[in-house]
C-alpha cells in the first residue's frame, strides 16, 4: 500500500503559483524575497510531496507540465480564498470590517439601538450592524443556538447556560389615550383597573406572566375586550379608543403622542439585560458594540466619539 502524500505547505504553493505566473524561478524568487537556491528547494519539495513533475525547466525557460497546468487551475482559487479569509479575519480583529448580529425584543429596539448604532458607526464605519427583532422566546433561542452574537431581553436571568448583564429596569404602566379621563392622573392602582375596558397581550406573551401576577391581587377584573400577540400592537388599539392597556414603559410613544403611560402602583418592573451564551467569547465587533451598549445604559445618553 502506498503512503499518502503529505499536504503541501502554503509557502510551497505560493512559490509554485509565482513561478507559474512569472515563468521564471529567478523572478519568482525575487518577488518572494528568497534566494534562488531556497526557491528551487521549495519547488523540489512540492514536487516530491505530490509525486509529480510540475515544471519542464531549461536554462532559458520554465514551462508547466500538463499536470502542472491542471494543478495551477485547481490550487489558485484555493490560495486566493485563503488569502481573502486571512485579510477578512485581520480586518475583523481590528474592527476594519466584519459584522455584529444582535437579537433584540421589539420593545427595546427603539430605546437602545439608535444611539448605540450612531456612536458605533462613528468609531467603526465598516462594520455592519445587523438587528434581529423578535419576541422574548425568539431572542432567547437565537442566543442559545448561536444565531446571534448576543441578545437584549428580559428573560434569561435564571438560565445556567446564559449570562445576563442588567441594562435597565422597565416599569409596567397603563397606556391610555391622551384625552382619556386617566391621562391626567399621576398614578393608577392595579385594583382600580376593573373600572375600564382593557386590551391585553395574549397568554403566549412573556409580558403576560408579569401582568397576570400583578393582577392576581386585584379583584373584579373585567374580561379583556381584545387580546393580541405583541405588546406594540396594543398601542394602536389604545389610540383607536378600544380601551386601556398594561404595557412596558419602553413601548409607550415619546411625546407628543396620542397615547400616554401612567405609572401603576405598586410598581411592577422587568429587568432588561444583555444575554449571551455562558463561556462564549464575543468577536471584537460584538464586544465593542456590547461595551457601548453598557455605557449608554449607565449614562442614559448618547456615547460620544473619542
pLDDT, position 157? 84
Query: Which class does domain 10-93 fall in?
Result: mainly alpha
Looking at residue 35, its pLDDT comes to 92
Q: What pLDDT digit, counting tens, does each position of 192-232 carry?
A: 988 899 999 988 888 888 888 888 877 667 788 999 988 88
Q: What is the pLDDT of residue 1?
A: 43
pLDDT for position 6? 67
CATH (residue range 99-167+271-299): 3.40.190.10
Per CATH, the number for 170-270 is 3.40.190.10
Q: What are the boundaries of each domain within the chain?
A: 10-93, 99-167+271-299, 170-270
Residue 226 burial by CB count (10 A; 0-12/13-18/19+): exposed, middle or buried? middle
Same fold yes or no, 99-167+271-299 and 170-270: yes
pLDDT digits (tens, 9 = 90+) for 73-126: 999 888 888 877 766 666 566 666 678 999 999 888 888 889 899 999 898 888
The model's pTM is 0.68
pLDDT value of position 16: 92
Structural contact between residues 134 and 261, judged by C-beta atoms closer than 8 angstroms: no
Q: What is the pLDDT of residues 32-78, one digit of tens each?
A: 999 999 999 999 999 999 989 999 887 677 899 989 999 999 998 88
User: What is the secondary structure of 46-115 as a DSSP string?
Assistant: HHHHHTS--EEE-SS-EEE-HHHHHHHHHHHHHHHHHHHHHHHHHHHHTTSS-EEEEEEEHHHHHHHHHH
Each residue's pLDDT tens digit, 7-18: 778 889 989 999
Residue range 151-201, pLDDT digits in tens: 999 998 888 889 999 999 999 999 999 999 999 999 999 989 888 999 999
Q: Which residue has the higher pLDDT, 250 or 82?
A: 250
pLDDT at 303 over 50: no
Amino acid at each position: 500500500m502506498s503512503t499518502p502524500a503529505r499536504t503541501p505547505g502554503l509557502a510551497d504553493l505560493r512559490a509554485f503559483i509565482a513561478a507559474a505566473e512569472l515563468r521564471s524561478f529567478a523572478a519568482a524568487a525575487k518577488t518572494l524575497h528568497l534566494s534562488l537556491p531556497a526557491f528551487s528547494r521549495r519547488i523540489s519539495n512540492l514536487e516530491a510531496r505530490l509525486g509529480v513533475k510540475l515544471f519542464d525547466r531549461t536554462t532559458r525557460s520554465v514551462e508547466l507540465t500538463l499536470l502542472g497546468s491542471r494543478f495551477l487551475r485547481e490550487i489558485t482559487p484555493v490560495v486566493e480564498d485563503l488569502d481573502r479569509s486571512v485579510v477578512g479575519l485581520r480586518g475583523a480583529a481590528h474592527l476594519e470590517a466584519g459584522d455584529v448580529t444582535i437579537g433584540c425584543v421589539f420593545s427595546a429596539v427603539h430605546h437602545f439601538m439608535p444611539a448605540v448604532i450612531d456612536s458605533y458607526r462613528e468609531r467603526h464605519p465598516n462594520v455592519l450592524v445587523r438587528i434581529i427583532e423578535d419576541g422574548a422566546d425568539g431572542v432567547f433561542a437565537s442566543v442559545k443556538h448561536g444565531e446571534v452574537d448576543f441578545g437584549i431581553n428580559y428573560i434569561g436571568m435564571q438560565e445556567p447556560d446564559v449570562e445576563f448583564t442588567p441594562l435597565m429596569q422597565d416599569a409596567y404602566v397603563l397606556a391610555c389615550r391622551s384625552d382619556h379621563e386617566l391621562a391626567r392622573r399621576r398614578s393608577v392602582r392595579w385594583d382600580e383597573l376593573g373600572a375600564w375596558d382593557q386590551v391585553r397581550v395574549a397568554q403566549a406573551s412573556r409580558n403576560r406572566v408579569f401582568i397576570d401576577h400583578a393582577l392576581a391581587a386585584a379583584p373584579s377584573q373585567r374580561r379583556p375586550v381584545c387580546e393580541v400577540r405583541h405588546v406594540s400592537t396594543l398601542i394602536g388599539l389604545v389610540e383607536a379608543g378600544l380601551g386601556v392597556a398594561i404595557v412596558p414603559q419602553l413601548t409607550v410613544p415619546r411625546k407628543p403622542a396620542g397615547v400616554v403611560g401612567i405609572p401603576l402602583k405598586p410598581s411592577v418592573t422587568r429587568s432588561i439585560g444583555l444575554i449571551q451564551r455562558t463561556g462564549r467569547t464575543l468577536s471584537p465587533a460584538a464586544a465593542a458594540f456590547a461595551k457601548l451598549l453598557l455605557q449608554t445604559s449607565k449614562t442614559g445618553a448618547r456615547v460620544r466619539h473619542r
